[in-house]
Structure 1
Amino acid sequence: MLDAAVQHEVERRRKSKARKGIAVSDEDIDQFADSAIALTDRESYEQEDAQYNRSLKQLFRELDLGFPIREVDRSFLANFDFGRCLAVVVIGQDGLVANAAKYVGDLPVIGVNPDPARYDGLLLPFQVREARAAMQRVINQRARYAKITLAEVNTITGQRMLAFNDFFVGCRSHASARYMLDANGTREAQSSSGVLISTGAGATGWMSSVFNMAAGVSRFVSGNDVPALSIARDERKLMWAVREPFVSRHSSAQNVMGILHEQDELVLGSQMPTQGVIFSDGVEDDFIEFNSGNIATFSVSQQQVKLVVG
C-alpha cells in the first residue's frame, strides 16, 4: 500500500510538471520518489515492524519455561478460550492490552513493551528481557498486581460487553444519535453526537476531549477554565458525558454528565430506527446493534483486570 502511494504521488507530480510544460528528468523522478517516501514515513514503518518481530522472537525464548505457549492474533481474541491458561502475555501497544484484557477473565495480564523508544507503555511495565522473571513470579504466586476497573453494558437483547477505557453509544453515520437517557431515575429525551461512558483508565483518553472542548468554550465566553475530572484506574466508578447535545422540541440537555458509583446504573433506550451502535475502546468492528426498542444498562463491572506490575 505504501509503495502504491509513493508511485501515485510521483505520477501526480510528473503530470503536474507536464501540464505546466516543464520537462521532467530521471533525476527529478528520483527526487519526487524521495519526497513521497518521506511523506509516507515508510522507513519508520519498516523499522517499527522489524523491531516488533525481533522482540516477538526474543519473547518466545524468554517464555520457554516448560509450559505450552499459544500465539493468538488480536483478531481472534473475542473467540479464544482462555480457560486453560495460566497468564496472558500481551506484546504490542497499550491499546492491545486494553482490548485483550476484556476477554481474559481474572487471568494475570503481563504487558510487554516491544519498542520502548516508540511506545510510552503505560500498560506495558515490562521490557522483553523482563518477561521471563515476571511470568515466573506469576507461576510461583509472588507477582504484584494492579487492579483496573472495567465498565460493563448489558442489553435487553441479552448481549454483554466490557470496556477497558470507554464505551461509545451513538450512530454509525454522522447523523445524530437519538435516545432516552435515564440517570438515577431522571429521564430525558436527547439528540447528540453520542454518549461516552469512561473508566478511570480511559479518563485521560477520549473523555478528555470533552473537557478540552468545555474548557475552550468556557475560556472564550467567560475567561475561565473548566477543570477536568479524573478517576483512578482502580476506583470503582465510571464517568459519562453526552457529546454535543442538541436542544429542540423533542430533545433537551439538562442531564449531560455524571459519575456512576458501584451500585449505580446509566440506562439508555434507543430511538434510532437504524445505524445505532455500542462499541468499546474504539473498536468499531466489534459492536452491539442499538436500534429502536433496545435498552442498554451501563455499570461498573464486577470483573477487574489483574495487570502484573512486579
Structure 2
Amino acid sequence: MYAGTKMIAVITRETRLEGLKQRWGTASQADFLLEAAFDHEVERRRKARSAKGLAVSEDDFSMIATSASELTDHAAYEEEDETYRKSLRTLMQELDVEVPVREVDRRYLPNFDFDRCLAVVVIGQDGLVANVAKYVGNLPVIGVNPDPARYDGVLLPFQVSEARAAVLRTIKQKARIEKVTLAEVNTITGQRMLAFNDFFIGCRTHASARYTLEAGSVREPQSSSGVLISTGSGATGWMSSVFNMAAGVSRFVTGKEVPRLTLARDDRKLMWAVREPFTSRHSSAEQVMGLVNDQEELVIGSQMPTNGVIFSDGIEDDYLEFNSGNIATFTVSQQRARLVVG
C-alpha cells in the first residue's frame, strides 16, 4: 500500500529504572541503593525530630516512612518501566502500516537523518516532544502518551490505541497540524541552536554570568545568574518561576500581585528575563525583562572567560560554548514545530 515511501521514526527515551541500571551497573545494585536511601532518609527525619525534642510515636514513624518511600519507591520505578515497555510494544504493533518503522533513542537525535522520514512518532513525556521538535525540520510530530495515569500529556494528544489512525492521517496529509513558534540563536562562531521552550544563557557553575545585553538600541553590561529566553510554549514552564518569584516578593513588600505576561504557542514573539541581576561599578540592571517580536533580535555578548554556555529546553549536556568574545543573536525562528493534534 505504501511501498517505496520513507520510514516512520519512533522516538523513545530511557525510563528512570533504566537510568538507574545504567548508572549503577545492575538491577540488584540499583535496588540496594534505593533501599539504602530509604533507610537513610527515615533515620535522618527521625533524628531531625529528636533534635527538636519531639518524641517519635509509631504514627509519626509511619508518616516518616511513607514520605521517604515516595522518594525511593522502587516499585513505582518498576511499574513505570513496565507500563512504558508495554506501551512501546503495543505501539510498534499498531504502526504496522506497510511503512518501515525505526526506533530511535533520544540520545541519537542530533545525529539522526530525519530527511529519510515520512513522520515522527514520540512516545514519552512532554519534554521529549519538545526536544524532538528541534531536530525534525518540517516533519509532523505525533505525540503519544504511554502512561496517561502518570503524565498530563499537554504535548501528547494521542493514546497508544489512537496512534495508528493519527499516523495514517499524517501520511495522507489529512491530519490537523498546530504550528508552534521556536526560538533560534546564532553565534559569530557559526553555531546555531533552536529552542522549543526556552534558552538559558549563563555560567555552567554557580558563578555569576558576565555579559552585555542589547535590546533594541540599548546596550547594557550585566552580571546575573543568567538570562532566560522563552517561547510561548515555555511561558508556563521555567519562565513561570520568574513570575512566581516576582509575585512572592511583591506580596511580601507591597501586598499586591504582579501581573503575569503570557504568550500562546503560536505567538511570533519571545519573552526574556534576567535572573537575579546584580548592580555594581561594572554592571547595571535597567533592562531585566522584555519581548522579542518577529524580525527583532536580542543580542548578548559573553564576558565569561570560561564555563559560559547556552543550552535549550533544560538539556544541559547539549550546549554551545559561550565564552569571552562570542556574541549570540536570539530571534523568533523561521522554522516552526509542526505538531499533529487531530
TM-score (norm 2): 0.83
Amino acid at match of 2:272: W
> Partner of 2:154: helix, strand, or coil?
coil
Amino acid at match of 2:273: A
> Partner of 1:202: helix, strand, or coil?
helix
Runs of 4 or more above 4 Å deviation: 8-14, 32-39
Name the structure 1 match of 2:23: none
Once residues 196 and 340 of structure 2 are traced to their aligned partners in structure 1, the CA distance between those partners, rounded to angstroms, is 16
Deviations 1:60-107 (A, max 9, x none): 011110011111001000110000101100000000000001000000
Once residues 139 and 297 of structure 1 are traced to their aligned partners in structure 2, the CA distance between those partners, rounded to angstroms, is 36
Once residues 152 and 234 of structure 2 are traced to their aligned partners in structure 1, the CA distance between those partners, rounded to angstroms, is 15
Amino acid at match of 1:57: R
Select 1:115's aligned residue among 147, 150, 154.
147
Instruction: Tell me if structure 1 keeps the 8 A contact 2:225–2:276.
Output: yes
Once residues 158 and 34 of structure 1 are traced to their aligned partners in structure 2, the CA distance between those partners, rounded to angstroms, is 52
Amino acid at match of 2:267: E
Once residues 96 and 10 of structure 1 are traced to their aligned partners in structure 2, the CA distance between those partners, rounded to angstroms, is 33
| 1:258-269 superposed matches below 5 A | 258-269=290-301
- Shift of residue 11, structure 1, vs aligned partner: 8.2
Amino acid at match of 1:286: D
Instruction: Tell me if structure 2 keeps the 8 A contact 1:6–1:33.
Output: no
Once residues 219 and 211 of structure 2 are traced to their aligned partners in structure 1, the CA distance between those partners, rounded to angstroms, is 10
- Shift of residue 13, structure 1, vs aligned partner: 8.0
Deviations 1:251-279 (A, max 9, x none): 00001111111111000000000010000
Amino acid at match of 2:204: R
Deviations 1:217-275 (A, max 9, x none): 11111111101100000011000000000000000000111111111100000000001
Name the structure 2 match of 1:68: 100
Once residues 229 and 156 of structure 1 are traced to their aligned partners in structure 2, the CA distance between those partners, rounded to angstroms, is 31
The alignment status of 1:153 with 2:185, answered yes or no, reads yes
| 1:98-113 superposed matches below 5 A | 98-113=130-145
Task: Report the identity percentage.
Answer: 71
Deviations 1:144-165 (A, max 9, x none): 0111000000000000000000
- Shift of residue 12, structure 1, vs aligned partner: 9.3
- Pair 1:128–1:245, CA change in 2 (3 A): same
Select 1:5's aligned residue among 6, 13, 34.
34
- Shift of residue 7, structure 1, vs aligned partner: 3.7
Amino acid at match of 2:251: R
Name the structure 2 match of 1:198: 230
Select 1:171's aligned residue among 203, 209, 220.
203
Once residues 41 and 229 of structure 2 are traced to their aligned partners in structure 1, the CA distance between those partners, rounded to angstroms, is 44
- Shift of residue 34, structure 1, vs aligned partner: 9.8
TM-score (norm 1): 0.91
The alignment status of 1:304 with 2:304, answered yes or no, reads no
Name the structure 2 match of 1:270: 302
> Partner of 2:181: helix, strand, or coil?
strand
Once residues 31 and 330 of structure 2 are traced to their aligned partners in structure 1, the CA distance between those partners, rounded to angstroms, is 41
| 1:88-103 superposed matches below 5 A | 88-103=120-135
Select 1:229's aligned residue among 254, 258, 261.
261
- Shift of residue 141, structure 1, vs aligned partner: 1.1
- Pair 1:12–1:199, CA change in 2 (3 A): closer
Instruction: Tell me if structure 2 keeps the 8 A contact 1:7–1:33.
Output: no
Name the structure 2 match of 1:25: none
> Partner of 2:135: helix, strand, or coil?
coil
- Pair 1:12–1:93, CA change in 2 (3 A): closer
Once residues 34 and 216 of structure 1 are traced to their aligned partners in structure 2, the CA distance between those partners, rounded to angstroms, is 31
Q: CA RMSD in A?
A: 1.9
Once residues 160 and 304 of structure 1 are traced to their aligned partners in structure 2, the CA distance between those partners, rounded to angstroms, is 15
Once residues 183 and 159 of structure 2 are traced to their aligned partners in structure 1, the CA distance between those partners, rounded to angstroms, is 28
Once residues 71 and 315 of structure 2 are traced to their aligned partners in structure 1, the CA distance between those partners, rounded to angstroms, is 27
Name the structure 1 match of 2:58: none
